[in-house]
């Protein structure tokens, strides 16, 4: 038994005037990835004002189109909508090595050449690669697909160890759920941290994960007993990032020896205590730099636990490849 779904070209009924997001719909549609794009960019969000995204869909072929989960999808608009897009999203594809129709390639290339951003979720990277839009650029996709697509398109640099990649006008996400992280990253860049956090709250997901974060770690979920013991401590640490947190003191709070504490902390989080603290402090620094406040870089360095602006600058550049001052400017500060 199949269910038929009609997808109108302008799903959002709330009148907005912001960037026009167009998401592809194709025979064999990956419904989860499509749902991510719609959830972030297509839902009416009147609290965001008239400048919020406009959302449309474009059928790669004439319908009705099959979709994962036994759905049949009917779309009222075709590839002509791409000519009006500011951001084009490819929500998966029907196979990492599946052929990409010539009309789609031509429409993607034309949109890209006039300045539209193009973004893929999971296997959707195959469309960007086939259109030649990744040549000479870095990109990612699900770790299962990297070897095959790298062999087919050696002119692009594929990385299996990141959640998403932002190369300006080309953006690529790894596995399906990493598409949420990339979409929130786009919102953060377009509308700021508060808007991205608001969308994340409605999704009930973390507001930000670094694009360079590994797609998986060896021990992503701690044993229940360790989670109960370390969870409250980790929250305590997160609330006191401005303070020194020597390992001896943390081990005492956890009721463990230093050696046992360090081993179990790394097993639970995937990072050493020092690495975890640096990541959290950089995250906090980013949040403070994105807000419309007049705090000096020295004050932010102290608030994040780096102590000095020089130390903040060192870790910021090492992690993000830019300076705190330059990062602040990208948010109009």
pTM listed for this prediction: 0.68
What is the percentage of the chain residues whose pLDDT exceeds 90?
54
Quick one: pLDDT at residue 221?
Answer: 43
Positions in the chain short of pLDDT 70: 1-14, 206-229, 292-294, 330-333
pLDDT on residue 196:
87
**pLDDT tens column, 180-236:** 999 999 998 899 888 888 898 888 776 666 555 555 444 344 444 444 568 889 889
What is the structure's pLDDT at 173?
A: 94
Q: Which residues pair with 119 in a beta bridge?
A: 89, 171
């Amino acid at each position: 038994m199949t269910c038929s779904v009609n997808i109108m070209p302008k799903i959002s009924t709330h009148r907005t005037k912001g960037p026009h997001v167009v998401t592809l719909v194709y025979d064999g549609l990956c419904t989860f990835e499509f749902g991510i794009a719609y959830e972030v960019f297509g839902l009416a969000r009147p609290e965001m004002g008239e400048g919020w995204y406009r959302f449309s869909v474009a059928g790669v072929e004439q319908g009705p189109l099959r979709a994962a989960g036994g759905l049949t999808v009917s779309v009222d608009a075709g590839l002509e909508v791409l000519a009006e897009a500011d951001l084009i999203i490819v929500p998966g594809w029907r196979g990492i090595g599946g052929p990409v129709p010539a009309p789609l390639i031509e429409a993607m290339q034309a949109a890209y050449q006039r300045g539209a951003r193009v973004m893929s979720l999971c296997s959707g990277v195959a469309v960007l690669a086939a259109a030649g839009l990744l040549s000479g650029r870095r990109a990612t996709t699900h770790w299962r697909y990297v070897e095959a697509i790298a062999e087919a398109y050696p002119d692009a640099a594929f990385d299996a160890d990141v959640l998403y990649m932002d190369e300006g006008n080309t953006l690529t996400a790894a596995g399906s759920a990493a598409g949420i992280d990339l979409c929130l990253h786009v919102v953060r860049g377009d509308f700021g941290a508060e808007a991205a956090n608001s969308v994340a709250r409605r999704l009930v997901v973390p507001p930000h994960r670094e694009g360079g974060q590994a797609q998986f770690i060896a021990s992503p979920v701690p044993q229940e007993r360790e989670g109960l013991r370390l969870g409250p401590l980790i929250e305590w640490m997160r609330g006191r990032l401005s303070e020194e947190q020597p390992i001896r003191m943390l081990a005492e709070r956890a009721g463990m020896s230093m050696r046992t504490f360090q081993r179990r902390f790394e097993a639970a989080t995937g990072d050493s205590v020092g690495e975890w603290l640096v990541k959290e402090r950089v995250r906090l620094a980013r949040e403070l730099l994105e807000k419309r406040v007049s705090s000096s870089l020295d004050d932010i360095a102290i608030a994040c636990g780096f102590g000095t602006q020089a130390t903040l600058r060192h870790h910021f550049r090492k992690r993000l490849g830019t300076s705190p001052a330059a990062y602040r400017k990208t948010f109009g500060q």
